[in-house]
Amino acid sequence: MAILSLVLLLLAHIITTSFSLQIHFYSKSCPRAEIIVKQVVQKHFQQDPSVPSGLLRLQFHDCFVRGCDGSILLDSDGHNVAEKNAPPNLTLRTFDVIDDIKAELEKECRGVVSCADILALATRDGVKLSGGAAYALPTGRRDGVVSNVADVHLPSPMISVAEAVAAFLSINLDIVDLTTLLGAHSIGLCHCGFFMDRLYNHKGTGLPDPSIDPTLLTTLLKKCPPHAVTLQNITQDSSVFMNQATTTPFLLDGSSFYHGVLNGMAVLQLDQELAFTDLTNKLAARFVNSPKLFRKQFSKSMVKLGNVGVLTGEEGEVRLNCRRVNSATSSNSSTKV
């Protein structure tokens, strides 16, 4: 019995190892896959420098719900409302970038490269184009066949650091990853609806958040007047640059972002809260003084994020179209297969 148990454990280890993610997973099955991804992302970036921030947010919202299985890319159909239609996801974009990459890859090697890998690779290339490091990214993810609006439980930008840490720990990321990945907010835009409470009714006081820099507060009040902006109609409201402490809002610049955090210049409540807890404050200060350290840790944390809940081996499928599953019957499944 003991020998049988040992054999079963070894077999389980072999199977798990065989199906793990690998660097250059497509080197034989689709050798130009990563080149094609990079070319398409670069083309979109040249037309719109905010593409990297859109890709970063898209990957985060994918990986935080059911793992990094590309479920955020699926469209709703007549029988199911998909993740992308949940209120926190209504402002997601760059779906067109993923569609374009998929179309090119299907011409090159039909049915080989998963949409989950496309999203992870495109995000990596976006990070590089916006000034980050070109980190080595393991691939081999498979696509999920379930996308349900009821599964979307994302951490709000209005929660405390402690609540955010708990949310990150639930997907095996820690406080260092949290602090670092919030540095993605050094690029791109943010809709006013995500921080209106800070401007007009901080913690139910009917007053602005006292931690906001006065000059920044004046700017934000002008950009975001007290009209009926809610998370339900957020796609119709104004937006501001996420990093108010820089003149280069499309450059992944941890130094300026964390400098802003430490000086009351953060736009989002959660970002600003990093200044008020001991470890996150110290990490922010280190990133201000060492841009190289930030880029290195950002790469590590992005790889960790990309490993969350992945499907490999025979799990899931490789979608032919990132917006729908290959079989209509699969979309009605309630389990991850």
CB 254 within 8 A of CB 287: yes
- Provide long-range contacts, Cβ within 8 A and 24+ apart, for 194-203: 194/157, 194/231, 194/234, 194/268, 195/157, 195/158, 195/220, 195/224, 195/267, 195/268, 195/269, 196/224, 196/226, 196/229, 197/158, 197/269, 198/269, 199/224, 199/226, 200/226
Both tokens assigned to 115: 């949409």
AA identity, residue 80: N
Residue 76 CB coordination number (10 Å) = 16
Both tokens assigned to 186: 């050094």
List beta partners, residue 241. 189
Those residues with Cβ within 8 angstroms of residue 216's Cβ, 6 or more apart along the chain or in another chain: 244, 264, 265
Backbone angles phi, psi at 5, to 5 degrees: -65, -40
AA identity, residue 187: I
Alpha helices in the chain (DSSP H): 2-18, 33-47, 51-63, 95-108, 115-129, 161-169, 175-181, 196-200, 214-223, 254-262, 269-273, 278-289, 291-306
The residue assigned the tokens 């990079």 is 38
Gap between the Cα atoms of 123 and 117, Å rounded: 10
Gap between the Cα atoms of 211 and 302, Å rounded: 29
The dihedral of CA 64, 67, 72, 76: what is its sign? Answer: negative
Q: Let me know if 44 is a catalytic residue.
A: no
Residue 264 CB coordination number (10 Å) = 18
Gap between the Cα atoms of 252 and 183, Å rounded: 8
Please pick, among 13, 24, 61, 185, the residue that the annotation labels catalytic. Answer: 61
Which residues form the catalytic set?
A: 61
